[in-house]
Amino acid sequence: MNETLIANLRAQCGGPRDGALLRFSLGNALLTSGDAAAAAVEFRQAVTFDPHYSAAWKLLGKACLALDDKAGAADAWRQGIDVAQARGDKQAEKEMTVFLRRAEKQE
């Protein structure tokens, strides 16, 4: 099921529907399937399309952490926190703040 979803999403990349939401959805499916490296690429693409997409920053941090890139995760969450604060997205801000604190404690 997830492989079919990933294939369908990839087929739309580069087309008229390509954008932050598509890349976020693809990244989420890849992360769920265990491919954190490919997911990180798609989340980075999502925030390139829309730098104000706080959910993409949050999952980019999770993908980086899964790749043992703690610095990359912390950077993604810091940027995500700034975006969430600017947009008034309190829940995303809180979640990324918790993730960032945990990551900093592990260093």
Q: How confident is the model at residue 99 (pLDDT cuts 50, 70, 90)?
A: very high
Residue 50 burial class via C-beta count within 10 angstroms: exposed 0-12, middle 13-18, buried 19 and up:
middle
- The model's pTM: 0.94
Report the percent of the chain where pLDDT is more than 90.
93
* Torsion sign across C-alpha atoms 15, 20, 24, 25: negative
What 3-state class would DSSP assign to 13? coil
Question: For 63, which DSSP code?
Answer: H
Q: Decide if 23 contacts 43 (C-beta within 8 A).
A: yes
Domain ranges of the chain: 2-106
pLDDT tens-digit series, residues 20-57: 999 999 999 999 999 999 999 999 999 999 999 999 99
Q: Look-up: residue for tokens 């939401």?
A: 21
Is 2-106 a domain of CATH 1.25.40.10?
yes
